Amino acid sequence: MRLSLLSDLNAERAARRAAVLVTDVASGEQRLVREAEIASDPLAGELRERLRQGRSGLVERDGRQLFLTVQTPPVRMAVIGAVHISQALAPMARGVDFDVTIIDPRTAFATPERFPDVQVLAEWPDAVLPEMGLDRYTAVVALTHDPKIDDPALAAALRAECFYIGALGSRKTHERRVRRLMESGFTEADLDRIHAPIGLDIGAVSPAEIAVSILAEIVATLRKERRRSA
């Protein structure tokens, strides 16, 4: 592999753009196909399907064996609320290779001291989410309980087709949330995509246990959806 090719592959990953490295395993010949270049590639159909499934693999073309290294952007997690659960969730999420951003306009909560090693934005979600460019490789987790902060983030996540959207709060709280979001134009089908109450039901009590249940639910959504589409 040429160093320049490896460097391009890493650059695409850093820029959160999908790419496929095509390797002829007999000759070692290689090329990089960026997401935007797929349509004009001779393997367009195969590459598009592989990318959708997020699955690398061997294919046979004109008697040649080609290995497709599929690189999708790293999963990103936007956590709304610099709260106690978020403090437990951030390092766990980093442990499974998610890019974590904590967003909370309350400056007393959103401090680097409380959240070492992750990006912390002491801003309103509607001010920073458009800039982040939410996408289908992003999970949005709303944990403040405060509609002023959570609702705009949930609305942005629904519009961006984030692969996972979760919101903390009881069933009653969620019913009220659903009513508010419907008034602002979302359909019932849209709102069904919000995981609420958030997290797998493992009887979690402490903030750290709730963080485990949330992270497990996100991983399950990520992996099972890809497997279903495979």
Distances (CA, A) of 165 to 57, 84, 112, 155, 187: 30, 19, 25, 10, 15
Q: Which of 16, 41, 48, 70 binds another protein (CB under 8 A)?
A: 70
- In this structure, the strands spanning 138-142 and 76-80 are parallel
Give the x-and-dash track for 37-66 against another protein (CB under 8 A): ------------------xxxx--------
Q: Which of residues 85-124 bind another protein (CB under 8 A)?
A: 95, 97
Residue 9 makes contact with another protein by CB under 8 A: yes
67 binds another protein (CB under 8 A): yes
Total residues at interface with another protein (CB under 8 A): 21
- Does 1 sit near another protein (CB under 8 A)? yes
In angstroms, what is the minimal distance from the CB of 96 to another protein? 8
Please tell me the chain's helix, strand, coil percentages from 3-state DSSP, rounded to the nearest 5: 45, 20, 35
Regarding 23 and contact with another protein (CB under 8 A), the answer is yes
Q: Looking at beta carbons only, is 28 or 63 nearer to another protein?
A: 28
CB 15 within 8 A of CB 7: no
Cis amide leading into 197 (omega within 30): yes
Q: 171-183 and 147-159 are packed helices; what angle lies between their axes, rounded to 10 degrees? A: 60
Report the nearest approach of another protein to the CB of residue 50 (Å): 10
Pairing between β-strand 57-61 and β-strand 19-24 as defined by DSSP bridges: unpaired
Burial 30-56 (b: 16+ CB within 10 A, else e): bebbbbeebeebebeebbeebbeebee
Identify the residue among 45, 74, 116, 133 touching another protein (CB under 8 A): 74
Assess 7 for contact with another protein (CB under 8 A).
yes
Of 19 and 82, nearer to another protein (C-beta) is 19
Under rule CB under 8 A, residue 13 binds another protein = yes
Contact residues for another protein, defined by CB under 8 A: 1-3, 6-7, 9-10, 13, 23, 25, 28, 55-58, 67, 69-70, 74, 95, 97
